[in-house]
Structure 1
């Protein structure tokens, strides 16, 4: 299987690190940190932007995003450029950790859920005027989602226990690579079933070849076990490159071919 960037990293590190400004003028509200727990109706186009001024809606109404973390950026970012790479790496580590805690999931489970997270900073105009806050939102989809699903009134603890298939990620397509990622309650050909850790936090990147081979060999055995060792079965795998490794991701994902 060719590699594919998985959603759950919700915004893959490469996209996070290279986002550019939206050029909007700074409204007064954009200078202040957003409200924790606010809900919004966001779509993939909104999430692709570095800042967001979408108005909040009652969390009892339909919504696709919920703010689970807000705060001021560290003083180290007081004088950096708007699209500084270290800022993106800091946001990835900060939001991904709080994302796990908010949902009640471990490293493996967050890689296999249809929900992901997005982070936002002030508009570029507000940044130039000294605004230095961040906002992390859980969103009802990932990088390859065509549209987002509605979230519950609050997504806090969403993945505690045994999560419902509505929140687990599957794929619809002939191969995992490039396929549309959907909730497992929808028609699909593939299901993300396990993950493998390729190293510890301080380990150097093992390289593309070793990462892929290690992932492939593990997934072949892991998916076979998940399927109760059938004579024939198909499996796929998602592995990541150095940009994602440098941002903090250490896991690859294994996919089982299904008949649904």
Structure 2
């Protein structure tokens, strides 16, 4: 299949559509980008921007960012046990779906519209117990194979140099499913389209193989802030900021080293990476994001680095 690249630039609420009947992205409903306070219980991370002159202090902001989402569920009514999930299976759930709805989602044909595709599955031992009652570290350990590298290898993005809008959703059985005898966990790949999961038609690896890589770059509508977990296509060079790096700050078993330590390490990483994407000789903007203690406990262990999309384009093209 081929892609038509002669159309006008798409907006942040639109997605690339491939010619013919092959894999494609479904156009999303128009949505606005409005700031909000973080909901109680959300994992917070802090941000640090570096700007020329005195703008740095004024633009420091809070941020909620969940790249790898671990989904569990509270107690549920008795259910009929289903066969364990299999790799390459597709599902059609939403980013706003409850834990029960996500874990109990029915498999759908990948040729039809869907939002998620499984790239890893495993069985859980009886001793694991109801996932909803398990601690974050316990869940993270059994989901250890679900890495960004593993996801990228499945998609065919192994040679990519910067993060994409593809993200991981880790799914455990509901209490009802567990009590019915289901002993599985799975990792799905989803494509963020703003605040929502993008609806796809066709398998995700096939979509990647037939789509220019830049269509999957992770941008924010403007300077990163408290909505940065919403990953948009990069279409507005003068407004967008692009994520150019995501680096591990600690293994699953590592204790939180303290806010100052995490902050310093994240800043060093992002300053070094940000230097690569500027034409300026003296002042250059970059933005760093790092986890808080609460986010660290839930498995958020990465530093994320952003630069203005305009600078990225100038330094990586031509």
TM-score range, shorter chain: 0.7 to 0.9
TM-score with structure 2 setting the length: 0.64
Cα drift, residue 117 of structure 1 = 1.4
User: Equivalent residue for 2:188?
Assistant: 137
Cα drift, residue 191 of structure 1 = 0.4
User: Equivalent residue for 1:147?
Assistant: 196
User: Equivalent residue for 1:46?
Assistant: 97
1:67 alignment partner, SS class: strand
TM-score with structure 1 setting the length: 0.76
Equivalences for 1:1-260 in 2 at 5 Å? 1=48, 2-8=61-67, 10-11=68-69, 16=70, 19-21=72-74, 23-29=76-82, 32-46=83-97, 48-49=99-100, 51-77=102-128, 79=129, 82-85=132-135, 86-96=137-147, 98-104=150-156, 112-141=163-192, 145-151=194-200, 153-156=202-205, 164-179=213-228, 181-187=230-236, 189-199=240-250, 204-242=255-293, 245=296, 250-259=301-310
Cα drift, residue 248 of structure 1 = 5.9
Contact 1:190–1:258, Cα closer than 8 Å, also in 2: yes
Unaligned runs of 5+ in 2: 1-47, 49-60, 314-318
Hey, which of these two has a bigger chunk of helix by percent? 1
Gap change, CA 1:24 and 1:185, over 3 Å in 2:
farther
Contact 1:64–1:151, Cα closer than 8 Å, also in 2: yes
Quick check: which has more Rg, 1 or 2? 2
User: Equivalent residue for 2:21?
Assistant: none
Give the paired residue count: 247
Cα drift, residue 232 of structure 1 = 3.3
Gap change, CA 1:138 and 1:172, over 3 Å in 2:
same
Cα drift, residue 217 of structure 1 = 3.2
Inter-partner Cα distance in structure 2 for 1:81 and 1:180: 25
Contact 1:6–1:238, Cα closer than 8 Å, also in 2: no
Contact 1:174–1:189, Cα closer than 8 Å, also in 2: yes
Gap change, CA 1:43 and 1:27, over 3 Å in 2:
same
Unaligned runs of 5+ in 1: none
Cα drift, residue 70 of structure 1 = 2.0
Cα drift, residue 7 of structure 1 = 3.9
Gap change, CA 1:125 and 1:28, over 3 Å in 2:
same
Cα drift, residue 190 of structure 1 = 0.9
Inter-partner Cα distance in structure 2 for 1:76 and 1:101: 31
Inter-partner Cα distance in structure 1 for 2:154 and 2:201: 14
Deviates most, 82-91 or 128-137: 82-91
Inter-partner Cα distance in structure 1 for 2:120 and 2:64: 25
**Residues 24-45 of structure 1, C-alpha deviation per residue, up to 9 Å, x if partnerless?**
441342xx21232111222102
Task: Give the root-mean-square deviation of aligned CA atoms.
Answer: 3.5
Deviates most, 170-179 or 37-46: 170-179
Cα drift, residue 129 of structure 1 = 2.8
Cα drift, residue 189 of structure 1 = 2.0
Inter-partner Cα distance in structure 2 for 1:195 and 1:233: 19
Contact 2:64–2:229, Cα closer than 8 Å, also in 1: no
Contact 2:78–2:180, Cα closer than 8 Å, also in 1: no
Cα drift, residue 51 of structure 1 = 4.7
